[in-house]
């Protein structure tokens, strides 16, 4: 949450007619603002010194360094001293910031603080960027008049953690770290023990950082005004450093990062307080897991496999080789024998270029990527219901909602900054409904947790819709005026057998009814869903039902509500926007529509464009195996480790005549490649990412690409030109200009007008962006209700008799997808292996305890993974992660896909288990 003391511009909608005086000058006040905010707005950040205040913390008033004198106009002799950080400014108030008595008071306070502080400024880690130093200089400290107190040198430094450190002898008891842990992250790890002079900050039950429940977000370190709590990167030591603002490469939250760089090396990362997305907060991946960028294992030059071994070649050699092979395959088998898989970790501009290369240069719509693989049910489900397949609202709307529903997602692990905001809201009493087969961290804060069996989202959502209708909670006005198909939908819902739905889902009907009533009666309910919704046989229909819940209760088109998918990777939204799917080009323009074909043909300046829908990734594997697909270009995806049924994937890759893998590290997939191209990391390129709330933000180069590696965009441009198509040299600004001419909702997106916080699409030609969609109408006209019955997945129907357990997948906070980046940082010291969550009942049946190896076997294969015995999952349900190639979990996942979007069903795997 943002303190009222933050320096902000007044809302232009507020008429500023009331005034107050600052040192005799009259200024307009904003209702509700504090004196500190008021003074800083006109006199600057340094007008009043502070020690316990921070931009993203609530006013606290403990240090009193921010004290000012105040009085009333007409009564200037009756002055009183107040803390400006939490005292509201009033009309007619006189504020004196530098009176003689105030200067003496501030100096006295700081002198007292310094008596208990070690005078080691010249050797301190934050020398040159210490707020205590700055404040001492600001108030005129030249010496300390009081006897030096007992400095707590007995408080040992805590160096137990890979990232977090502490030296509490330097603590000034401002409580900023405690409040950051509480108000920003909501983790409540830090607190105060002892009284008086012996009071101190403790972690957990007076543990070290590593033993505590610390999630390493670094909020406390960034908040600390000294170096009492710090990190191994000395992120507050800024002397001689340049700061570059960019956007995080990990999840879809899209946190802004301030990267400190010196002499071409990255030193540390902080979170800017003025970032609209993350307001001075980020997780351990964004703040600390950056050292992969110059890891010794980075790919630094192109390679071609010769006689079974990858050998170093020049860029000219590899371009010539690829041009000859691609053109030869195209001439012999046709363009549809070639396909591409792009990456949600690359920028909008790079995704746009790859789909352009595959379509306009190669001549096929065989282009796909993880955005479609994992999130196509969201895009298609919301497109069919609303007309637009993206988040309806902004994350900021969490402030205004009166009910939250999280389904198939664990945002505190997978989307940590958004997860912290949801958790904070729930901790303050806002009802939270969690629908998840695991008792996730978020479920612990839930008002209602519907712990369903994996694969039964449709059954549970059907029950909720049933009770909303039965209880008379339908928003009749919204349904009548803004939707269609409701009558048939209602008939279908009311015809359902609740006994069967209750039995198959494992969710008691009364719980479903309670959740339905809480959601439907809230004055604004906001839903969030993740891969636990989309990666199912009925994933698309599940998304449609979530959209139906919003429409049936009128929770669309206003603040604090809506349907908000949590995107798993940093640029999932942008990847789809740029046309990385076989049935839609850039801007979601359908590839088989004659008008769109003509438009693309003219815009790209080619003789013709492909006219039929291309292959999805699962179809690429099928056609590689049946001989129709001969060449595949993969960027930034370790498909062997991350795609289901790894054995089939490997067989398909080995059947190709040409496999090109563009990566930053060698992976399980590069082991099968004929050509490996070294790409650049997000820290080595310019471009834009689009986060989960449709916010287009700048990615700015911090350091030069390592070795001979190139940005993915530069690689595509070089290849396109070598294939005979003229593509201008890579420029993020230039490509964004091109994109704005073909993608309708990017019309007003220009590099120079994105500034620090980007814009949320659709962006009009004049640059006006959009925070909330569907305020008056849907893109398709009226929202559409469609009824379908719950259908059991074939994975259960075909295999349950021999494989009676259900395995589902999840993520942990410390790692990201296949772990290609995070396993090469100190995150691997915190979590270093995949584990199998198993209920104590099931563990007893096969006689395993924590740490024992369990053989998990499916109809496709088996893996061995260590057990973690926990009641986080119900009996009969297992869960594990897929971050480590040593386990290669996807050897056991299957070939069942969503029946509409062809998204793999990662979340339901029939298995049997035995102790190894």
pLDDT over 60 at 16, yes or no = no
For the chain, state the CA radius of gyration.
29
pLDDT over 60 at 199, yes or no = yes
DSSP state of 907: T
Q: Confirm if 273 and 3 have CB atoms less than 8 A apart.
A: no
Lowest mean pLDDT of 375-384, 513-522, 572-581, 726-735, name the range: 375-384
**Share of residues in the chain with pLDDT > 70 (%):** 96
Question: Maximum distance among all alpha carbons in the chain?
Answer: 95
pLDDT over 90 at 670, yes or no = yes
For residue 659, what is the enclosing H or E element?
Answer: strand 658-663
Cα–Cα distances (Å) from 44 to 8, 47, 64, 138, 184, in that order, read: 11, 6, 19, 14, 25
**pLDDT in the model for residue 1:** 36
Residue 40: left (phi > 0), alpha (psi -120 to 50), or beta?
alpha
Whole-model pTM: value is 0.94
Confidence of residue 143 (pLDDT cuts 50, 70, 90): confident
Confidence of residue 393 (pLDDT cuts 50, 70, 90): very high
pLDDT tens-place string over residues 872-892: 999 999 999 989 988 889 899
Average pLDDT over all residues of the chain:
93
pLDDT over 50 at 2, yes or no = no
pLDDT tens-place string over residues 247-283: 999 999 999 999 999 999 999 999 999 999 999 999 9
pLDDT tens-place string over residues 550-606: 999 999 999 999 999 998 889 999 999 999 999 999 999 999 999 999 999 999 999
The dihedral built from the CA positions of residue 618, 623, 624 and 628, taken in this order, carries a sign that is: negative
Q: Which residue has the higher pLDDT, 360 or 75?
A: 360
Confidence of residue 150 (pLDDT cuts 50, 70, 90): low
Confidence of residue 8 (pLDDT cuts 50, 70, 90): very low
818: which 2 tokens?
A: 């296949």
Confidence of residue 10 (pLDDT cuts 50, 70, 90): very low
Q: Confirm if 890 and 882 have CB atoms less than 8 A apart.
A: yes
**Share of residues in the chain with pLDDT > 90 (%):** 85
pLDDT over 90 at 513, yes or no = yes
pLDDT over 60 at 296, yes or no = yes
Q: Confirm if 272 and 280 have CB atoms less than 8 A apart.
A: yes
144: which 2 tokens?
A: 């300390």
pLDDT tens-place string over residues 400-444: 999 999 999 999 999 999 999 999 999 999 999 999 999 999 999
Lowest mean pLDDT of 3-12, 619-628, 639-648, 901-910, name the range: 3-12
Residue range 455-473: average pLDDT? Answer: 98
Confidence of residue 12 (pLDDT cuts 50, 70, 90): very low
**pLDDT in the model for residue 895:** 86
The DSSP-derived string for 622-640 is HHHHTTS--EEEEES--HH
**pLDDT in the model for residue 122:** 62
Cα–Cα distances (Å) from 128 to 52, 109, 177, 287, in that order, read: 19, 22, 20, 21
Q: Is 111 helix (H, G, I), strand (E, B) or coil?
A: helix
Write the CB contacts of 552 (distance below 8 Å, at least 6 apart in sequence). 465, 468, 469, 474, 475, 479, 486, 520, 785
């Amino acid at each position: 949450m943002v303190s009222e003391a933050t320096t902000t511009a007044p809302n232009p909608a507020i008429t500023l007619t009331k005034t107050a005086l600052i040192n005799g000058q009259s200024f307009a006040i904003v209702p509700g603002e504090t004196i500190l905010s008021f003074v800083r707005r006109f006199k600057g950040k340094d007008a009043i010194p502070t020690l316990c205040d921070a931009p993203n913390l609530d006013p606290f008033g403990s240090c009193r360094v921010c004290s000012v004198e105040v009085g009333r106009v007409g009564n200037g002799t009756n002055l009183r001293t107040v803390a400006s950080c939490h005292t509201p400014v009033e009309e007619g108030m006189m504020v004196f910031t530098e009176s003689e008595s105030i200067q003496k008071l501030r100096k006295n306070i700081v002198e007292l603080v310094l008596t208990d502080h070690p005078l080691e400024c010249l050797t301190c880690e934050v020398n040159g960027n210490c707020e205590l130093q700055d404040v001492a200089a600001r108030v005129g400290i030249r010496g300390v008049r009081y006897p030096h107190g007992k400095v707590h040198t007995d408080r040992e430094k805590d160096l137990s953690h890979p990232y977090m450190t502490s030296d509490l002898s330097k603590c000034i008891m401002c409580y900023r770290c405690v409040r950051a842990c509480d108000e920003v992250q909501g983790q409540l790890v830090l607190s105060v023990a002892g009284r008086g002079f012996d009071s101190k900050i403790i972690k957990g039950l007076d543990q070290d950082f590593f033993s505590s429940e610390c999630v390493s977000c670094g909020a406390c370190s960034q908040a600390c005004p000294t170096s009492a709590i710090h990190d191994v990167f000395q992120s507050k030591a800024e002397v001689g450093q340049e700061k570059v603002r960019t956007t995080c490469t990990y999840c879809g939250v899209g946190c802004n990062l301030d990267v400190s760089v010196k002499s071409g090396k990255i030193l540390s990362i902080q979170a800017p307080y003025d970032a609209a997305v993350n307001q001075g907060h980020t997780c351990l991946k964004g703040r600390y897991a950056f050292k992969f960028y110059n890891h010794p294992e980075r790919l630094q030059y192109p390679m071609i496999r010769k006689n079974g071994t990858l050998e170093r070649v020049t860029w000219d050699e590899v371009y010539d080789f690829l041009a000859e092979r691609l053109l030869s395959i195209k001439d012999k088998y046709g363009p549809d024998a070639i396909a591409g898989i792009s990456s949600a970790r690359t920028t909008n501009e790079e995704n746009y270029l790859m789909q352009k290369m595959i379509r306009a240069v190669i001549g096929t719509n065989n282009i796909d990527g993880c955005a479609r693989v994992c999130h196509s049910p969201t895009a298609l489900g919301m497109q069919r219901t609303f007309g637009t397949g993206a988040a309806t609202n902004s994350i900021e709307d969490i402030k205004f909602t009166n009910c939250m529903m999280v389904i198939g997602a664990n945002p505190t692990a997978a989307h940590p900054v958004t997860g912290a905001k949801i958790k904070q809201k729930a901790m303050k009493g806002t009802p939270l409904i969690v629908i998840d087969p695991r008792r996730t961290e978020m479920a612990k804060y839930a008002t209602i947790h519907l712990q369903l069996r994996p694969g039964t989202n449709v059954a549970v959502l059907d029950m909720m819709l049933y009770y909303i209708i039965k209880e008379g909670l339908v928003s009749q006005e919204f349904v009548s005026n803004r939707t269609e198909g409701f009558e048939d939908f209602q008939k279908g819902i009311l015809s359902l057998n609740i006994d069967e739905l209750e039995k198959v889902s494992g969710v008691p009907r009364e719980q479903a009814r309670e959740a339905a009533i809480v959601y439907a009666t809230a004055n604004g309910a906001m839903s969030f869903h993740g891969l636990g919704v989309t990666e199912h046989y009925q994933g698309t229909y599940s998304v449609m039902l979530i959209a139906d819940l919003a429409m049936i209760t009128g929770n669309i088109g206003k603040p604090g509500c809506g349907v908000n998918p949590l995107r798993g990777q940093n640029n999932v939204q942008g990847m789809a926007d740029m046309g990385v799917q076989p049935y839609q080009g850039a801007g979601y323009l359908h590839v088989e529509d004659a008008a769109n074909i003509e438009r693309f043909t003219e815009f790209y300046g080619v003789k013709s464009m492909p006219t039929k829908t291309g292959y999805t990734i699962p179809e690429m594997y099928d056609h590689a195996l049946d001989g129709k697909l001969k060449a595949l270009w993969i960027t930034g995806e370790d498909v062997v480790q991350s795609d289901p049924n790894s054995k089939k994937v490997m067989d398909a890759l080995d059947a190709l005549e040409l496999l090109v893998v563009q990566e930053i590290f060698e992976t399980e997939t590069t082991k099968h490649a004929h050509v490996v191209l070294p790409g650049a990391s997000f820290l080595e390129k310019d471009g834009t990412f689009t986060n989960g709330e449709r916010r287009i933000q700048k990615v700015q180069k911090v350091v030069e690409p390592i070795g001979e590696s190139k940005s993915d965009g530069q690689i595509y441009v070089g290849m396109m030109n070598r294939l005979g198509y003229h593509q201008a040299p890579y420029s993020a600004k230039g490509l964004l200009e091109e994109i704005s001419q073909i993608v309708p909702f990017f019309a007003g997106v220009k590099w120079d007008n994105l500034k620090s916080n980007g814009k949320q699409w659709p962006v009009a030609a004049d640059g006006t962006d959009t925070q909330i969609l569907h305020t008056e109408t849907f893109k398709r006209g009226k929202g559409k209700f469609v009824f379908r019955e719950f259908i059991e997945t074939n994975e259960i129907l075909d295999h349950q008799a021999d494989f009676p357990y259900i395995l589902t997948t999840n993520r942990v906070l410390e790692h990201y997808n296949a772990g290609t980046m995070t396993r090469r940082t100190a995150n691997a010291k915190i979590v270093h292996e995949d584990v199998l969550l198993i209920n104590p009942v099931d563990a007893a049946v096969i006689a395993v305890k924590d740490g024992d190896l369990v053989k998990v076997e499916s109809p496709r294969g088996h893996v061995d993974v260590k057990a973690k015995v926990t009641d986080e999952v119900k009996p009969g349900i297992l869960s594990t992660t897929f971050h480590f190639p040593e386990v290669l979990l996807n050897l056991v996942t299957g070939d069942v896909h969503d029946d509409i979007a062809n998204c793999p069903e990662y979340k339901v795997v029939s298995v049997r288990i035995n102790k190894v």
